[in-house]
Amino acid sequence: MNQIEFKKKLDSSMNMQLIVAGMTGLIEDEGYSVREVFGLLEATKQNTFHALLEIRNEGKK
């Protein structure tokens, strides 16, 4: 996804805005560095992948 496509998606998706707001809050409010935030994001991806996949599959039934 290029920068223009990302901006369109971000502008139209409250959930994407919440992800960005959460990342911003970790930096501004909780004092994490950018590198730490991306580490937390990676850990979040790894620890929620299977649950999200299950949620997605339940929605298809």
Amino acid identity at 50: H
pLDDT at residue 60 greater than cutoff 90: no
Computed over every residue of the chain, the mean pLDDT equals 96
Of 58 and 25, the structure prediction assigns the larger pLDDT to 25
59: confidence class by pLDDT, cuts 50, 70, 90? confident
Do residues 27 and 34 make contact, with C-beta atoms less than 8 angstroms apart?
yes
Reported as a single tens digit per residue, the pLDDT across 24-48 is 999 999 999 999 999 999 999 999 9
Supply the pTM of this predicted model. Answer: 0.83
